[in-house]
Amino acid sequence: MLVIRALWLGNQPARILYFITMENNRFDVIVLGGGPAGLTAAIYLSRARLRTLVLNIGTAGGQMVLTHEVANYPGVESVSGYTLSNTMKKQAKSFGSVIKNIASIQQLTLNGDVKQVVTGDGTVYESDAVILATGGRSRELGVEGERQFKGKGISYCATCDGEFFTDKEIIVIGGGNSALEEAVSLTKYASHITIVHQFDYFQAFEYAIEEAKQNTKISFKLNSVISKFQGGESFDGAYIKDVNTGEESFIKSSGAFIFIGYQPNTEVLKGIVELNKWGEIVVDSEMKTSLDGVFAAGDAIAKRYRQITTSVGEATVAALATAGWLHEQRRKKVSLAH
């Protein structure tokens, strides 16, 4: 609902327009991030009749969009990450949430009673509370040639780029669930996959390890790290170093997929809320951050496990806690007014 918060004073239409614009950009809660955590929070908040804005730097869904198949989401037998993302987005919008994509954050003011977010285009949004659901991104190896061949043979998304390597030999780097599961997924396209991992054991669930080991298209280079990616106009392969002997060998390959985890998208939050040494947001059991009225959920917070379901659960807690906090703040204001 639009409320004009200024009087018409003579010939000053610009002042009236300014107040109308600010009222349209005033929300109960702003959610930063549109992945599974951000969209879940929006669903709960808007269902609670709280005017909710979701600001997302990319398209709605976050890293979930890149997941080829989600087979462990309770109540859903199998669904693509893209489909699940769209379903969550439609739910949030159906309850009244406003979702703005491709919205970069230029400035944040989160201390004080009124929180303020300025986006890259200079638009100012205000709210009483904020939920940080900024998520994470693929971690890079940081070796020579990685930046040079990023998107030109080196990828971080099997769903996005797997088909480009049909009937070709590729490398997968990593030893967690994502690396092993995506390697198996890539066997639909590649003729052969070499998994390179720095340890002699995998940090993955047993089912993922067994599935990869039983696939005849997959071989392993353990106790090994990538020392350099090589190529001319196109990607040729990678030098692999044995961590025990230091011996290097070259694997000819048409592409490399890197799955070594994520790093939190919290650069914009440094010096604003408490972060741990890994840059993750520190929260309590109710997802409260170090700032009053600011909550957080999803892959940007300090936690051990990062799954769609964990993000959804944390966002549920964050949204309910936010709604409760807002109710209490407004009750106090009414009491003081009397």
Active site residue 292: no
Same fold, 13-137+262-337 and 146-258: yes
Q: Can you name the CATH fold of 146-258? A: FAD/NAD(P)-binding domain (3.50.50)
- The identity of residue 167, as a single letter, is D
- The identity of residue 199, as a single letter, is F
Active site residue 299: no
Delimit the domains of the chain by residue range: 13-137+262-337, 146-258
Active site residue 160: yes
CATH annotation of 13-137+262-337: 3.50.50.60
DSSP E strands, the chain: 26-32, 52-55, 98-100, 105-109, 115-119, 124-132, 136-138, 154-155, 169-173, 192-196, 218-221, 224-231, 235-242, 248-252, 255-258, 262-264, 294-296
Q: What angle do CA 95, 101, 103 make, to 5 degrees?
A: 125
Per-residue pLDDT tens digits for 207-230:
999 999 999 999 999 999 999 999
Set 28, 128, 161, 299: catalytic member: 161
- Quick check: helix, strand or coil at residue 222? coil
Q: CA 27 to CA 131: how far, in whole Å?
A: 12
Q: CA 144 to CA 142: how far, in whole Å?
A: 7
Structure tokens belonging to residue 218 = 């997959």
Per-residue pLDDT tens digits for 267-281:
999 999 999 999 999
Phi-psi domain of 56 (left: phi exceeds 0; alpha: psi -120 through 50; beta: other): beta
Set 160, 200, 284, 292: catalytic member: 160
Per-residue pLDDT of the chain (338 residues; tens, 9 = 90+): 343 334 333 444 444 444 444 458 999 999 999 999 999 999 999 999 999 999 998 778 888 887 767 888 999 988 888 899 999 999 999 999 999 998 889 999 999 999 999 999 999 999 999 999 999 988 899 999 999 999 899 999 887 789 999 999 999 999 999 899 999 999 999 999 999 999 999 999 999 999 999 999 999 999 999 999 999 989 999 999 999 999 999 999 999 999 998 899 999 999 999 999 999 999 999 999 999 999 999 999 999 888 899 999 999 999 999 999 999 998 988 877 76
Q: CA 112 to CA 163: how far, in whole Å?
A: 50
